[in-house]
Amino acid sequence: MKSDKKKVILLLALAAFIAVVPLFALKGAEFGGSDDAGSVMISKIEGKEYQPWFTPVLETFIDGELPGEVESLLFCVQTGIGVGIIAYNLGRLRERKRLLSGTGAAENAD
């Protein structure tokens, strides 16, 4: 059990290190969105300003842009659904492995 705690602490420290290093290593860098970077690159390649092919459905429906808070909410909902699907499937795989190995729930109650 002590080995597992050390492993978790080490992995959390590694994750924090990976998240913090770019902030110090790239002091003058701009961390922009990929949408902006893509349209800028297309403009450079084509030599003219990028024009989107269509407008988003919700922006057409409400006749304007979505507020930033609503975009963040929709992104969080989408992320939650994705995490739920991944967690459900990981749980099913673990349960399948447990059932196929023949061990009962009482034996895995560590």
Alpha carbons 40 and 52: distance in angstroms, whole number: 12
Per the model's pLDDT, the better-predicted residue between 56 and 89 turns out to be: 89
pLDDT at 3: 81
Reply yes or no on whether the pLDDT at 7 is more than 70: yes
pLDDT at 70: 87
Quote the mean pLDDT of the chain. 84
pLDDT category of residue 57 using cuts at 50, 70 and 90 = confident
Give the three-state DSSP class for 108: coil
pLDDT at 104: 59
Identify whether the C-beta of residue 50 lies closer than 8 Å to the C-beta of residue 39. Answer: yes
pTM higher than the cut 0.75: no
pLDDT at 47: 85
Pick from 40, 37, 33, 31: nearest CA to 71: 33
